[in-house]
Amino acid sequence: MKEKELRRTLAVLPIGTVIKLTDLTARQIRYYEEQGLVTPKRNKGNQRMYSLNDVDRLLEIKDYLADGMNIAGIKYVYQQQQADQQAQKQRPVTDDDVRRILHDELLAAGGLDHHDQRASLYHQNPKK
């Protein structure tokens, strides 16, 4: 796990801080936990502790609700995301995947512009 990813998963925020960050009530946050939408860790004193990922999830839930989605719909979205992630883990990496990842990395590093990239990918895989 990358360091940044690890930091985002550390459960270090008490519910009071999460309330301030999300503008949700403690009752709302506990309800989302009861519904299985967020799963905070517990410290030795049995206090709920949240990660930055949990805060992101709570803000996302808040946005979904503001957009008119109900709790059942939100659960469905998260179940689909989880199923997609599981399928992605089980699927072998193809040559196209490697090309796409390399392309994304080169673009992020500034090593290719869009014109260069299309030409190089075409020559590597002319059937596209």
pLDDT > 50? residue 128: no
Structure tokens at 112: 């290719």
Q: Is the pTM of this model over 0.85?
A: no
Distance CA 60, CA 74 (A): 10
∠ CA 29-35-38, rounded to 5°: 55
What are the φ/ψ torsions at residue 94 (nearest 5 degrees)?
-100, 170
Q: What is the pLDDT of residues 62-74, one digit of tens each?
A: 999 999 999 999 9
The answer to whether 9 and 53 have CB atoms below 8 angstroms apart is yes
pLDDT > 60? residue 126: no
Q: At what angle are helices 26-34 and 15-22 packed, to 10 degrees?
A: 100
Structure tokens at 24: 């949700």
Q: What is the pLDDT of residues 12-49, one digit of tens each?
A: 999 999 999 999 999 999 999 999 999 999 999 999 99
